Structure 1
């Protein structure tokens, strides 16, 4: 609390209007950074810009488009004079099909959103670091699905594994020039988006988080991950406190990947079903 370890830094955050991205933007600003946010949610982005008047800029951004990412990075240097941190965070689960059912187009779409976007973020951030003559740091959101099978569909899992490869290759090519790249591999993080994907209505997202905690669905730390858990790690990797950390893909999963054959995923889905059924039953009783 109260630390200003990002004082004077300029960061770009993609997918910064909700969930992990939003909490990261809030934390970066709280710790002294100026932030440019790229997202497809234009209304939410404008509200964020107004909320942090002068400290946050926003640009509607399709992260799969090279020109859009180049323009987003240019906005940071134009508005705030430089770039210190690139946080590639935008994403979605994408096509949930199994390997046998997934179309080539479906696979390509997920890879474009989750892996191509991270490549583009690296490309234009590195170009900027080299041009300005001062190295910076790149943080990317990967996933435990890139480390282990069974967490999420193949398009998502393959893309997140690719993110980790991009991180390592960046170190191989540019580490000697002082440029750092690291990934965060979140486990189950209960954002409104994740709750919705589990079938939980948006109005009940906070209630569902408390329900999961009460039901002890997660055997390691006894609670699900929250956006601030990932945002704190992103802020650390963006800061000079991590100056000797490079090429790492750091699980932020409460210890889930430390356990062989954990059943957290199925347990969470089952908990979501019980929760939704309990809310439906309560509504029916009230109506009756």
Structure 2
């Protein structure tokens, strides 16, 4: 009896390592950062990964290293996103996962001096790009008739103010509403739509932001990691990692999250959940 339980346990572990076996996934902004970490994890778990990005110097090599493929894709151009989806259908005849991860930070500054052209530029990527992704992924998934998972990278800035530029904040919060409304429509087709909201993940985008805010061009990933680990979460000594977000993405993409849709999975070390300055009162 015990041996059979042990065998069953190790068998379940083996199959669990391939949580996306035979699934076809597109990751926009997949050539570096969170997208790249997710592409690697998806591939390790058995997915066929298509990296869709504008970083033609990084994307092809990464795709080759994980046995996937790369396509140049500017998400502001609907035709580019449609081409990425069509590539999945041509290569594998289906699309199971769409990770709308591409995004930009936008310019800082006062709302009283906001450059509307700059606002429109960030909206083109962070809102229109997401709409393009959901639209064409949904069309493909409905046609295939096997359901699917659509995931969008939002941000902790969508939950509380003061964490990012006005343009970035408005686009990331708009994304939450879009995910809920499309989840409402697409659920009848077995398509789930969810968001991930990271916070405190040292990335090129975040480092660039810290350099501007602190006016120190020498700040690097380790410096930002230290700042976040000391004051950016409820877990002292721990900042977020790109792998943390990749793990959240694989959960939402997999059948483990089969009953989760219209949800925003916040990966922030508890930062947006509590005011930690007075935590000494619990000692």
TM over 0.5: yes
Matched, 1:16 2:30: yes
TM-score (norm 1): 0.84
How far apart are residue 217 of structure 1 and its match?
2.8
Q: Distance in 2 between matches of 1:189 and 1:241?
A: 24
Q: 1:62 aligns with which of 69, 74, 91?
A: 74
Distance 1:79 1:29 in 2: 16
Residues 178-206 of structure 1, C-alpha deviation per residue, up to 9 Å, x if partnerless? 1100000111211133223322768942x
- Secondary structure at the aligned position of 1:184 is classed as strand
Counterpart-to-counterpart distance in 2, 1:153 and 1:8: 40
The question of whether the paired residues in 2 share the 8 Å contact of 1:196 and 1:202 is answered with no
| The one of 56, 73, 96 aligned to 1:42 | 56
Q: Paired residue for 2:42?
A: 28
Q: How does 1:87-126 map to 2 (within 5 A)?
A: 87-126=99-138
Tell me if the contact between 2:97 and 2:253 (Cα under 8 Å) persists in the aligned partners.
yes
Query: In structure 2, what is the Cα distance between the partners aligned to 1:202 and 1:87?
Result: 32
1:218 and 2:236 aligned: no
Cα displacement string for residues 226-267 of structure 1 (whole angstroms, at most 9, x for unaligned residues): 1011110000000000000010011110001112497xxxxx
Corresponding position of 1:241: 256
Contact 1:91 / 1:113 at 8 angstroms: preserved in 2? Answer: yes
> How many angstroms does 1:24 deviate by?
0.2
Which of residues 141, 164, 175 is equivalent to 2:187? 175
Asked if 1:161 corresponds to 2:173, the answer is yes
Measured against aligned partners, the alpha-carbon deviations of 1:5-63 in whole angstroms (never above 9, x if no partner) come to 111100000001111101000000011101101111001011112212xx311011111
Paired residue total: 259
How far does residue 81 in structure 1 lie from its aligned partner after superposition?
2.1
Cα distance between partner residues in 1 of 2:173 and 2:227: 28
> Are the structure 2 counterparts of residues 203 and 144 from structure 1 closer, same or farther at C-alpha, using a change threshold of 3 Å?
closer
Deviations 1:60-92 (A, max 9, x none): 111111000000111111112210000000012
- Unaligned runs of 5+ residues in structure 2 are 1-12, 278-283
Q: In the alignment, is the contact (CA less than 8 A) between 2:145 and 2:189 conserved in 1?
A: no
Q: Where does structure 1 differ by over 6 angstroms across 4 or more consecutive aligned residues? A: 200-203
